[in-house]
Amino acid sequence: MRNQLAVTIGQYSTAGTKEANQDFHGALVPDGEELWTKGVALALADGISTSALGAAAAETAVKSFLTDYFATSEAWSVQTSAARVISATNSWMHAQNLKGRGTNLSDGERERGMVCTLSALVLKSRSAYVFHVGDARVARVAGSVLEPLTEPHRVYLGGGESYLARALGIDRRVEIDRRKVPVARGDIFILTSDGVHDVLPDTAFLEAARGEDLDAAARFLADAALAAGSEDNLTVQILRVEDLPQSDLDDLAGEEAALPPAPHLIAGQDFEGFTVLRELHAGHRSHVYLARDDETWQRVAIKVPSTENGADPAELRRLMLEEWIARRVRNTHVLGAPAARASRRHAYAVTEFLEGATLEDWVGFQSGTTDLVAIRSIVKQVASGLQALHRLEILHRDLRPANVIVDSEGTARIIDFGSALVAGLDELAPRAEDAMFAGTMQFTAPEIWLGAGASRKSDLWSLGAIAYFMLTRSLPYGVRLSAARTRAAQRKLAYIPASEINPEVPDWMDAALARALALDPADRYEELSEFTYDFAHPNTALAAPPPRPWLARRPERLWQAISAALALALALSIATRGNEREPGASHGSANRVSTPRTEEIPE
How far apart (Å, rounded) are the C-alpha atoms in residues 500 and 481? 19
- Quote the mean pLDDT of the chain: 85
Band (437; pLDDT cuts 50, 70, 90): very low
Above 90 in pLDDT, residue 558?
A: no
pLDDT grade for 310, boundaries at 50, 70 and 90: low
Q: Is the pLDDT of residue 438 over 60?
A: no
CB distance 447 to 441 below 8 Å: no
Task: Report pLDDT digits (tens) over 465-510.
Answer: 999 999 999 999 987 777 788 888 888 888 999 999 999 999 999 9
Residue 29, class by beta-carbon neighbours within 10 Å (0-12 exposed, 13-18 middle, 19+ buried)?
Answer: middle
SS (H, E, C) 163-187: EECCCECCCCCCCCEEEEEECCCCC
Candidates 161, 162, 163, 165; CA nearest to 153 is 165
Mean pLDDT of the region 18-46: 93
What pLDDT was estimated at residue 107? Answer: 54
Task: Provide the pLDDT for residue 265.
Answer: 94
Q: Long-range CB contacts (< 8 A, 24+ apart) of 81-88?
A: 81/38, 81/424, 82/120, 82/122, 82/129, 82/131, 82/178, 83/131, 83/176, 83/178, 86/118, 86/120, 86/131, 86/133, 86/168, 86/174, 86/176, 87/173, 87/174, 87/176, 88/64
Q: How far apart are CA 474 and CA 472, in angstroms?
A: 5
Q: How many CB atoms lie within 10 A of CB 252?
A: 23
Phi-psi region of 397 (alpha: psi -120 to 50; beta: other; left: phi over 0): left
Query: How much is the pTM?
Result: 0.70
2-15 tens-digit pLDDT: 568 999 999 999 99
pLDDT given for residue 195 in this prediction: 95
Q: How far is C-alpha 307 from the geometric centre of its chain's CA atoms?
A: 29
Are the CB atoms for 85 and 72 separated by under 8 Å?
yes
Rounded Cα–Cα distance for residues 88 and 566 (Å): 75
Residue 347 is classified by DSSP as: B
| pLDDT digits 0-9 by tens, 64-111 | 999 999 999 888 889 999 999 999 999 999 998 887 554 555 555 555
Tens digit of each residue's pLDDT (9 = 90 or more) over 384-403: 999 999 999 999 999 999 99
Q: Please, are residues 174 and 156 in contact by the beta-carbon 8 Å criterion?
A: no
Q: What is the pLDDT of residue 241?
A: 95
Within 13 Å of residue 448, how many CA atoms lie on the same side as its CB?
26
Stretch 523-529: mean pLDDT: 96
User: Which residue intervals of 394-505 are DSSP H helices?
Assistant: 423-428, 435-438, 446-449, 456-472, 487-491, 498-501
Provide the sign of the torsion angle of the four alpha carbons 96, 98, 103, 105, taken in this order: negative
Nearest to 185 by CA among 8, 430, 44, 11: 8
Question: Quick one: pLDDT at residue 590?
Answer: 39
C-alpha 443/C-alpha 466 separation (Å) is 7
All structural domains of the chain, each given as residue ranges with its CATH number in brackets, are: 6-246 (3.60.40.10), 250-352 (3.30.200.20), 357-553 (1.10.510.10)
List the alpha helices (DSSP H) in 184-290: 194-197, 202-209, 214-227
More confident residue, 578 or 130: 130
Determine the average pLDDT of the residues in 348-356. Answer: 93
Give me the pLDDT at residue 596, please: 43
